[in-house]
Amino acid sequence: MFRWLVQPFRKSIRNKLMLGMVLIAAIPVIVVTLLAMRNAHDSMEEEIIQSNRSRLTWVGEYLDERLRRLNNLIYSILYSPAYVDNIDLLDSDSLGRQFSAQSALMDLLTSTLYSEIDSLHGIELYTMTKNKLFYVSNQEFAITNTESIPEPWQQMFENRLDVQIVNHPSQPGRFYLMRTINRFEDRSKQGGILLDVRWDMLGGVLNMANPEDESLVYIADGEGNPLYRYGDADLEPAAFAGILRDAAATGEAGVVEHGEYYVFYSAAPSWPLFVVKIVPASLINASANKTGQYGLVIGLISVLVSAGMAVFIALQTSKPIVRLAKSMQRFNVLAPTGPADFRPGKSRIDEIGMLEAKFASMTERLRDHITTEYVLNLQRQTAQLKALQAQINPHFLHNTLQMIGGMAMSKPPHEIYQVIRALSEMFRYIVRESDLSTLGKELAHVGNFMYIQERRFPNKLRFTVEVEPGLEGCAIPKLSLQPIVENAVKYGLEAEIGDDWHVRIICARSGETVVITVRDNGAGIAPERLSQLQRQLQASHDPVWENEERIGLRNVNARIRMHFGPPYGVWIDSLRGEGTTVTVTIPYSTEGRDER
């Protein structure tokens, strides 16, 4: 898997350049984007936290102001002339004075109630020394004689509290603001005034805390116990009481991260109360993440733009290099100048332009060199082949004509005609065909040669050919097989192996290669001579033409390699006493000449 990913960059400098420039452009952008996202997330989180702290501080101060306003309402009752002049007349011996005092106090409470009717549900005045309880509401009013201290005054007096805020025992939407009436001389409890207050009068105050659907705002006492909650979030305030008890010691606003929640709190400065807001951490993170998402989108766009510019610059920079490499890959030293040749860009004067110009100049000089050296040498070799052919013709013609002369004395005319026809076809093939022929024509030439040999040595040798269909049109250098068969005949007859001497040619296809096997059952070759021949055939640096009078194995091997390349050629193998096998390999193709 890793090699598959690396392979394209190992083979192409353009891919390396593009990858390098993309990394150079993208990595800094990615790093800066990630840092910016992190800083933006932290900044946004800090901003949200500070915003909630500030709002809760305002809410705490506003709550303190509203409660002080209610407290001043209590003091306005205590300091009013109606209270001061009539409170001591409640136990007067005169019933008229008692009734007048009670009426004055009830009028005072009623007028006070209606001055804050939007906030108050009722007002209660308790005088412990007179054992009387005055109560006024928007629905009723009453004066009650008490034999004992009523609740909730009993608990307040026992705890020696001057002021207390408690929830209504039966109405969750109301609370009591209670303040005791103390004797000036010894601060002993004389009674108290209770304001029955609607919690919803603080709704506008708590709404300043900007509660979200998932958050909860509530008012708690100094022990952290919830008194009034604002919001529908499914949270239990009691779970956070311990945090508020610790915060009560400082009396300041703050924030505490408690598990998956942020707890914001602010104290009402003059009262043992806290305004608390509980916000899920996920809500704060979501707001911060939204800002991070915008940064991520901008970062991705920046990365894509940077990568696109890097790829464009890399393509433009590597374009002449790739063009030069492709031209070098397509360059054929033997082909004439054509439209596919490399043409250097005239507008480039940099190092790449210099390479282009030098390569173009080198190709021209190389072609000139090939024209003067390779082509001329090939012409010289062709001339040598023609000369060897001319040497073959008189020698072979002499032997064949002697045989025809002998046949004229003893054989019928049609046999003489067959020999003459085979001889004429051989010379026609040698004279008229170019150096590159087809396998079918070469086998026909060998067949004519062996037909004449069979007539010379009747009942002594056999010749068979096996050709796989479709191979007759494969290209092969002319006179590649006839010298091999001629050598087999020559050395087979010299060895006098008997009357059953057999030469067999097998042509078969193996992939994109045609394998031609020439096999005889002669005496074979001595191991020393066989090793020498095999070394000579393997040596690619040997000259193509040796100082020989005939076309030999090395000549055939060199000509096949010259036409088709080093993978093809001739190989020989032999076992002493069992015969010799010569293998010729040529490429599978149909580029030979057609029959004429």
The chain-wide mean pLDDT, for the chain, equals 79
Mean pLDDT, rounded, for 553-569 = 85
E-only strand ranges, 66-184: 120-127, 132-137, 141-145, 163-167, 174-182
What type of residue sits at position 428?
A: R
User: What average pLDDT does this structure show over 391-416?
Assistant: 74
Q: What is the pLDDT of residues 57-81, one digit of tens each?
A: 888 888 888 889 999 999 999 899 9
Tokens of 107: 């009028």
Separation CA 77–CA 443 (nearest Å): 139
Are residues 182 and 189 in contact, defined by beta-carbon separation less than 8 angstroms? yes
Q: How far is CA 243 from CA 58, 274, 569, in A?
A: 20, 11, 96
Let me know: does 379 contact 343? Beta carbons within 8 Å: no
Q: What is the dihedral of CA 90, 95, 99, 105, to 10 degrees?
A: -10
Rounded Cα gap, residues 506 and 581, in angstroms = 11
At 347 the pLDDT is: 61
**pLDDT of 547:** 44
| pLDDT more than 90, % of the chain | 18
- pLDDT per residue over 323-373, tens digit each? 777 777 776 655 555 444 555 555 666 677 777 777 778 877 877 777 676
Q: Dump pLDDT digits (tens) for 98-127.
A: 899 999 999 999 999 999 888 899 999 999
More confident residue, 307 or 454: 454
pLDDT reported for residue 314: 72
DSSP string, 516-538: EEEEE-S----HHHHHHHHHHHH
More confident position, 90 or 543: 90
Question: What pLDDT is stored for residue 595 in this prediction?
Answer: 44
- Return d(Cα 164, Cα 74) in angstroms, integer: 13
Residue with tokens 């979030």: 233
475 versus 207: the higher-pLDDT residue is 475
Task: Evaluate whether 303 touches 30 at the Cβ level (below 8 Å).
Answer: yes
Average pLDDT over every residue of 464-475: 92
Check whether domain 45-282 has CATH 3.30.450.20, yes or no? yes
Instruction: Report whether pLDDT(213) > 50.
Output: yes
Q: Six-digit token pair at 486?
A: 């001629």
Determine the pLDDT at residue 333: 59
Q: Identify the pLDDT of residue 466.
A: 94
Q: Indicate if the pLDDT at residue 416 is higher than 80.
A: yes
Class level of CATH domain 371-587: alpha beta
**Which segment of 40-49, 70-79, 377-386 scores lowest on mean pLDDT?**
377-386
| Tokens, residue 589 | 């193709």
345: buried, middle or exposed (CB in 10 Å: 19+, 13-18, 0-12)? middle
pLDDT at 546 over 50: no
Residue 583's pLDDT band, with cuts at 50, 70 and 90, is very high
Share of the chain above pLDDT 70, in %: 79
Q: Which pLDDT tens digit goes with each residue over 151-197?
A: 888 888 888 888 988 888 888 889 999 999 988 777 788 899 999 99
User: Worst-scoring range by mean pLDDT, 199-203, 448-452, 474-478?
Assistant: 199-203
pLDDT bin (cut points 50, 70, 90) of residue 393 is low
**Residue ranges of domains in the chain:** 45-282, 371-587
> For residue 514, what is the enclosing H or E element?
strand 513-520
The DSSP line for 408-448 is: HHHS-HHHHHHHHHHHHHHHHHHHHS-SEEEHHHHHHHHHH
* pLDDT of the residue at 514: 95
For 383, left (φ over 0), alpha (ψ -120 to 50), or beta?
alpha
